[in-house]
Structure 1
Amino acid sequence: MPSSFTSTCSNSEVDSLKDLLENEEVRYVRKGYGLITAIIMVAFSYFILPSFMLPIYKLLPYENKYMMYGGGCVIIHELTYILANLVMYLIYHAELPFFERYKISNDPWPWKKNPELWKVQLKKTIKNLLFNNLIVVPLVASPSFFIEPSIETSIEAFPTWKQLIPQTIFFMLVEDTTFYWLHRLLHTPRFYGAIHKKHHEYINTIGIASEYAHPLEFAFGNLLPAAIGPLLLGNCHIYTIYMWNVIRLLETTDGHSGYDFSWSAFRLLPFSGSANYHNFHHSHNVGNYSSFFTYWDTICKTNTHYWRYLSAKEKSE
């Protein structure tokens, strides 16, 4: 498909830098006023929020690196996941037109499509989430209680936006690369049936599905990619790590939410994916292996099916 396929919809083939830039332009334009909201959210998170968090941080046992890293990361993980999905629960059940216009699939939510089957799936999901969050997360974090982490916890070194922005971007790039290749590995016959198929029980995803996974996948395919960036960088401030954990959990909840919100702050990133991008991975079970970005999928031609699907869909509208 030539890069001049259309000026109003995405290209079905991305074979050149021009194609990438055209798709990026369309993606940003389509966000509309949501783009302004996303920019405000990002600016608040990096330029204003740290000043509000500093007084709270002073109340923590910041001199205890073991507790701040191990215990702190576990608490941040659990609180963020719970709060993010409480918000999504309210959005799902409010059924407000303001939110429903961003719904990706025309299929009804699982609790409406088949209430009895949903009760079974929900019970199964809750058991898995409890095990992953109450057993696997503390287990993965446990070494930090015995080995002094290479982090900064002092108030004097509390990070500003000049540290937060480049460091969290670095974490995103490392996480996306690690996640892509591990995720792709999980789709090979050797690992899919035994491990990754569990996550794909959700064909059209919802927020809680983000951490519904085989414990081995959860530990090595979810938690590990997020931890590698801070470990590689070393000696960054614990607040930066907390912020990164929140970013990663909110991003994956957003990506599994079933809504493609125009104001999603994560989609401000150049060559980023979307909830629609990841929902295609679940609904078609092919390609789109990345988390934050799309460049690995593009380089390895693992999002070609998605671009073709999107192009055909837009041509028919």
Structure 2
Amino acid sequence: MSNFPVSNSTSFFQAYANFNQLDNLNILEKVWGAYYYYINNDLFATGLLIFCLHEFMYFGRSVPWAIIDRVPYFRKYKIQDTKLPSNQEQWECMKSVLTSHFLVEAFPIWFFHPLCERIDIKFQVPFPPVTTVLTQLAIFFVLEDAWHYWLHRGLHYGVFYKYIHKQHHRYAAPFGLTAEYAHPIEVALLGFGTVGIPVIYCYFTRNLHLFTICLWITLRLFQAVDAHSGYEFPWSLHHFLPFWAGADHHDEHHHHFIGSYASSFRWWDYVLDTEAGPKPHKAREDRMKAKAEVNAKKAQ
């Protein structure tokens, strides 16, 4: 990227002017190219991009929920409407998350670019076709959901819950900022589903662009924060996509401390009968009762 054959530039805007001469690039591609050309250090440019993207998208999506928690009008949409996080809880959670971001997640982020080069994750312009990007995003969502289900379910057993996952369950009524409030080991294990799956995908296919990873991280952050928001609206996505999990699905998990382990979709919990909440619990009891009655009749 730094060997782009145009005139020398001393500012980002001059770099953008150089890329703006290329008619085959769209605006996003021109901004992307100008950014890498202006930084003139691919390792630093990728590290700064991923770190800032993560912080901006995570807190940019969390802060609106913190504001909504203080607006009485939205109280009717609160799932656990008697449990609002206090300002102190919001602040303590934010400090913990920031500490994790800077002391746990920042280090591997800054060494992501050498990995990109090693497994051929591309970062040059132009971007791949939209169909390719959408297909890869769908694959990542499905694979991450499976990873999250089984790792999350495993973290609810014995010592794994006591020493690792219990921290995340400090808040029985979750709020947006709690999406990444977790033990460092849990951050690494579940975070592998977000970062490691695209890496493994590219290792075998040699067909992935860093821009797609940025989109994936953005969508995954939005999904995680929204799932912890604690709000259920008439326009919530799962009303239109029944297999989408959403806040109502994950709120039941925090409320009952067990069940509803998946991140984005409902099918793992549905098929394996691990949905949380009163209705699924009653359905399981009814099935067990019916089965017991059938066995009793057979025994007569």
1:251 counterpart residue number: 223
In structure 2, the CA distance between the partners of 1:89 and 1:304, relative to structure 1 (3 Å rule), is closer
Alpha-carbon deviation of 1:181? 0.9
1:39 counterpart residue number: none
AA matched with 2:257: N
Are 2:61 and 1:84 aligned? yes
| Correspondence 1:29-178 to 2 at 5 A | 53-61=28-36, 65-95=42-72, 97=73, 99-111=74-86, 119=88, 121-147=89-115, 148-149=117-118, 150-156=120-126, 158-178=127-147
Alpha-carbon deviation of 1:60? 1.4
Considering only aligned residues, what root-mean-square deviation do their CA atoms show, in Å? 2.6
Alpha-carbon distance in 2 for matches of 1:260, 1:310: 22
1:215 counterpart residue number: 184
Alpha-carbon deviation of 1:228? 2.4
Alpha-carbon distance in 2 for matches of 1:267, 1:54: 35
Q: What number of residue pairs does the alignment pair up? A: 252
- Aligned with residue 232 of structure 1, among 195, 200, 223: 200
Alpha-carbon deviation of 1:226? 0.4
In structure 2, the CA distance between the partners of 1:300 and 1:208, relative to structure 1 (3 Å rule), is same
2:162 counterpart residue number: 193
- Tell me if structure 2 keeps the 8 A contact 1:288–1:303: yes
AA matched with 1:230: P
TM-score (norm 2): 0.75
Alpha-carbon distance in 1 for matches of 2:238, 2:210: 22
AA matched with 2:230: G
In structure 2, the CA distance between the partners of 1:310 and 1:250, relative to structure 1 (3 Å rule), is farther
Alpha-carbon distance in 2 for matches of 1:51, 1:284: 48
Alpha-carbon distance in 2 for matches of 1:141, 1:61: 17
2:6 counterpart residue number: none
Alpha-carbon deviation of 1:144? 2.0
Q: Deviations over 1:58-89 (max 9, x none)?
A: 32106865345433222211110111112222
Alpha-carbon distance in 1 for matches of 2:238, 2:218: 12
AA matched with 2:123: T
Alpha-carbon distance in 2 for matches of 1:296, 1:129: 28
Q: Deviations over 1:159-184 (max 9, x none)?
A: 34212211101110111111111101
Unpaired runs of 5+ in structure 1? 1-49, 112-117, 313-317
Alpha-carbon distance in 1 for matches of 2:277, 2:93: 29
Alpha-carbon distance in 1 for matches of 2:80, 2:68: 15
- Tell me if structure 1 keeps the 8 A contact 2:253–2:276: no
Identity percentage over the alignment? Answer: 31
Alpha-carbon deviation of 1:265? 4.7
Unpaired runs of 5+ in structure 2? 1-24, 285-300
Q: Secondary structure at the match of 1:109?
A: coil
Alpha-carbon distance in 2 for matches of 1:236, 1:310: 45
In structure 2, the CA distance between the partners of 1:145 and 1:154, relative to structure 1 (3 Å rule), is closer
* CA radius of gyration, larger in: 2
In structure 2, the CA distance between the partners of 1:304 and 1:276, relative to structure 1 (3 Å rule), is closer
